Every structure is written in structure tokens, then in C-alpha cells.
Amino acid sequence: MLHYLEARHQVIEAVRRRATRPAAEVVPLEASLGRVLAEEVSADRDYPPFDRSTRDGFAVRAADLGQVPATLKCLGEIKAGEAFPGTVASGECVQIMTGAPVPAGADAVVMIEHTELKGEQVVVKRSVERGANVVPRGSEAGAGASLLAAGTRIGYPEISLLGQVGKAHVQVYRRPRVAVLSTGDEVVAVEARPGPNQIRNSNTYSMAAQVLLSGGEPVLLGNARDEVGELERLIRRGLEEDLLVLSGGVSMGKHDLVEVVLRKLGAEFVFDAVAIRPGRPAVFGRCQGKFVFGLPGNPVSTMVTFLLFVAPALALLGGAAPPPLRFLKARLAEPVKQTTQLTLFLPARLEGQGGEVQARVLPWQGSGDVVALAGSDCFVVAPEGAGELAAGGWVDVLPRNG
């Protein structure tokens, strides 16, 4: 079996080799959150476009404050969005607000709390160096400088930057369409009253949510019974989309038919098991020109394997680089036993602040325990064969992505 990092690497390399650049479309700025830029964005002018004050205070010549206290003549004031018409000469200053342009002749700003205004005179009680509390014109970006590359995932800072440079409409890549199909005779619709041996189809909706969080557009195909004909029909429908993700039917049981049907349709598999718990019987391959993931049916297994393997594939199909797995370090709140040769992903919750953060593994009843997972905000990653992980020891923590 593959280590999960090797399996993830194989997913990324397989998709990267075959993924084509998605078509582009234009969306309003307010609809661009989470989308992937399909164009390079450059600065339309210098940023800032003038020497900008970062403090409320007085624009001064630093040389006038070699000895303090110093008394300067105040020539007036400048608010943000205004400009001072004159020039600051030696012995003079101008009151200035945060964000306002520094007037000609001034080369620093002294904060207002270090001054005392007496009519037209200002007593400055602290000296400043040249350039203090001033952001020079063009120091953030010069006109024409590249600000955002094509392939950038748009978050709220990127939206702010796009708005700053006047991009009311943004060219983005089309989101990959992801067919989502659950399987199993025991699965009924979420609105149904389940029988004593049935479960509601929560996987379809959790997978759809993960598709959305990963930048895709979910296409819900419902649930396929454990019957070759129905499963084949729905898999064929799923292969019409950019990516097909199934849950359930990938273990070794008599009625686990996903791999059987995929092979019948000509699938070639990259792997069909990964050395993790939960999520060991995860399947990845290619069928009729489309990538296919078969994820275990137990909900926690489905969510873990989606995060590890499907999310990077979706990023590549959407025109972005695959996101790295960002592990945190935390101390274990309680000991954890790890005697298996599988990497464990244990639902946990972070507690505390700063350097005192602890990860507390939650009591759970295995990979079907969604109640425990809903109370978590991360997974403690316990390496294979680690033995007992002591309380207070450092462990890797993988945050949930939603």
C-alpha cells in the first residue's frame, strides 16, 4: 500500500500531465471569491500614488527636529483625498490625517500624541527620522508591475487588490464540474424516513460541500444501488463531467462493485488502497478520458480522502496549483496509542492560544462517526507504528478545510 503522501503525489502528477487549461469566463468582482484568475493583473498606476501618511499628526522636515522640543508654524491641514497647495519650508509644518498625501517640502510625519498645538504654533516633543510614518510613492508597486498571476486563487485580499486597480469584472477559469455519486443499497434520500437498517445519504452533500470549497461545481447524481446495471448507468453519466467522485462500494466485499464496473468501462487504476485510517480502500484512476475517485463510504473516511486526494486534483483541473498540506504543530492533550502500520487521522480539537495550543483527540466510534467529526476542527496525524504518543508531546495537526 502507498503512504498517503506518495498517493497524493501520484494524483498530482497524473492530473498535471493530462489536465488542459480550462476555458475562461468573466465574472463581476463580487462573484469572484474562490475563483481562479485566468489573466495577469498589473498595477494601473503607482501604489501608493503619492507619498502617504500612515499616522494622524504633522508633516514636518525632519531636520527641524534635531533638538526637541521644537516649535513650528502650522500652515493648515490635509485630509485624506485632498492635497496641500503650498510647500513646507524650514520651521513650518502641516497637520495631516492618516492616508493623506505628504505635502511638498515635508519628509516625515510626527504622530499627534508627540505634539501640542498652541494656536498656529505646534510644539513637537519628539524628533523623527526622514521618512518616518510615510509610505513613499510607488513603494508598494510601481505602475505596470505584475500584482497577481494567472492561476491565483482569489481570496478576500485578492478581491481588495482587484478592486484597488479597478477590476470591476475579472477573467477567471471555468470551475470544473464534478459528478458526485454515492452507492449502497442501505442509503436513502435525506428527506426519507430510514428503515431500521438504512442510513440517509449525507455523503452526497458533504462531498458537494467539499467540491465547492475546493473550487469546483458539484453535479449531484444521487445514489446508486449495489447493482451492476444501475451503477454502470450512473457512472457513464458521471463520466460526462470533468471529474467523477464516488463514495462507497470500493472495499473487498461481495457487493462492492465500483471497481468491477469501472474496469468493465475500461478504467486504469493508479492505486486502490492507501495506508491510512480512516480511508484505506481509496481508489484513483482514469476512465474514458476522465479522472475518477472511489472513496470509502463511511463519512469520515470519505471526508479525509477527499481532503487528501481529490482537493489537489480539483485545483489542477480548475487552473490553480494544488494546495499544499499545511500541518500545524500542537502538543497532545492526552496520550494516543498508535500500533498500526497505517497513518491515523484522528478527529481532534485545538485548545488554548499561542505557544500553549494543545490538540485533544475526540472520543469517536470509527469512520462512521460524523457526530465526533462535526465537533472537531482538525485531525491529529499519528504516524504508522509510532507506539504511544505521550501527552504533552508534539504532533502534526491537519486543519479541516471547512
pLDDT tens-digit map of 163-219? 999 999 999 999 999 999 999 999 999 999 999 999 899 999 999 999 999 999 999
Phi, psi of 166 (to 5 degrees): 85, 20
CATH code of the domain occupying 25-47+139-173: 3.90.105.10
| Alpha-carbon gap, residue 214 to 323, rounded angstroms | 9
Peptide bond into 278 cis (omega under 30): yes
Report pLDDT digits (tens) over 170-179. Answer: 999 999 999 9
Class of domain 52-135 (CATH, top level): mainly beta
Where in the chain is CATH 2.40.340.10? 328-399
| Bridge partner list, 180 | 220, 245
For the segment 93-106, the average pLDDT, to the nearest whole number, is 98
| Alpha-carbon gap, residue 308 to 302, rounded angstroms | 10
pTM of the model: 0.91
Where in the chain is CATH 3.90.105.10? 25-47+139-173
**257 backbone φψ class: left, alpha, beta (φ>0; ψ -120 to 50):** alpha
For the segment 342-367, the average pLDDT, to the nearest whole number, is 92
Give the homologous superfamily in CATH for domain 4-23+174-317: MoaB/Mog-like domain (3.40.980.10)
Q: Which of 350, 365, 232 is nearest to 298 (CA)?
A: 365
Mean of all residue pLDDT scores within the chain: 95
Q: Residue 161 to residues 44, 61, 323, 348: CA-CA distances in angstroms?
A: 11, 32, 21, 36
DSSP output for 250-292? -SSSTT--HHHHHHHTT-EEEES-BSEES-TT-EEEEETTEEE
Question: 353 pLDDT exceeds 90?
Answer: no
CATH code of the domain occupying 328-399: 2.40.340.10
